[in-house]
Amino acid sequence: MAENIEQLYTQSQITERVKEMGAEICADFIPSKPLLAICVIKGAVLFYADLVKAIRDRDVRFGFVAASSYYSATGDRMLSTGTVNMKYSSVDDSEIVGADVLIVEDIIDTGRTLKALKEYFYEKGANMVKIATLLNKPDCRVVDIEPDYCGFSFYNNPYIIGYGLDNAQQYRNLDGVYKIK
Ligand code: 5GP
């Protein structure tokens, strides 16, 4: 393992927190209605796999998307247009209409991607769209969006890797969350 990385959370700490998040989600969504859980690939894959198992006694439907947000330059600021570049989606429009959607993301930084994704699912006719993120950088936000469920928050913009998150496609398979020193 590289020497320039420092562990922030172990797999067992993550597992405990993800179980708590699953219980929070169960308490909020109607038990009798299927929940459409959307994994934002690639970074959220490991978190998603653990979180859906922690959402007990619910009919959880799976969906996978790869997305980035579009930006428009205004002066020296980059503003989200609220539209999303959906590079891949396994979800048919018919699955979204009337659905209770849970977007599962690895980390929220500026918030642009999740804001655009949330608007996308509402525009496609979702009944409700909530956001679960393992990690959050609240002081990096440039658009108005907050997660409904959050594992851990970080300040001063560390670069996080492991448990699905990469640095140039490396480190995704680490079984904990680390920061690059
Ligand atoms: P946002 O639209 O919120 O700025 O972008 C979120 C995306 O940026 C995440 O899904 C992730 O791909 C990437 N990202 C932001 N911060 C980090 C970080 O600290 N580590 C890694 N690996 N990716 C990050």
| Six-digit token string for 75 | 């002066």
The pLDDT assigned to 79 comes to 47
- Sorted by where each starts, the structural domains of the chain and their CATH numbers stand as 11-159 (3.40.50.2020)
The pLDDT assigned to 85 comes to 86
Residue 113 alpha carbon, nearest atom of ligand 1:
2
Whether residue 44 has pLDDT greater than 90: yes
CA–centroid distance, residue 59 to ligand 1 (Å): 29
CA–centroid distance, residue 87 to ligand 1 (Å): 16
Average pLDDT, the chain: 92
- The amino acid present at 44, given as its one-letter code, is A
Mean local confidence (pLDDT), 90-105: 97
Using CA positions, which residue lies closest to atom 16 of ligand 1?
Answer: 109
Residue 108 alpha carbon, nearest atom of ligand 1:
3
Alpha carbon distance 51, 132 (integer Å): 9
pTM above 0.85, yes or no: yes
Using CA positions, which residue lies closest to atom 11 of ligand 1?
Answer: 107
Residue 166 alpha carbon, nearest atom of ligand 1:
22
Using CA positions, which residue lies closest to atom 5 of ligand 1?
Answer: 109
Catalytic: which of 57, 93, 109, 175?
109
Mean local confidence (pLDDT), 54-66: 96
Alpha carbon distance 80, 20 (integer Å): 32
Mean local confidence (pLDDT), 92-104: 97
Could you read off the pLDDT of 151-168 as tens digits, one per residue? 999 999 999 999 999 999
Could you read off the pLDDT of 61-85 as tens digits, one per residue? 999 999 976 655 454 344 444 577 8
If DSSP codes are grouped into helix, strand and coil, which group holds residue 106? Answer: strand
Active site residue 109: yes
**In whole angstroms, how large is the CA radius of gyration of the chain?**
16
Ligand 1 pocket, Cβ-based, cut-off 6 angstroms: 43, 69, 105-113, 159-161, 165-166
Whether residue 86 has pLDDT greater than 60: yes
Whether residue 103 has pLDDT greater than 50: yes
What angle do the packed helices 45-54 and 11-28 form, to 10 degrees? 50
Question: What are the backbone angles phi and psi of residue 166, rounded to the nearest 5°?
Answer: -115, 170
The pLDDT assigned to 2 comes to 67
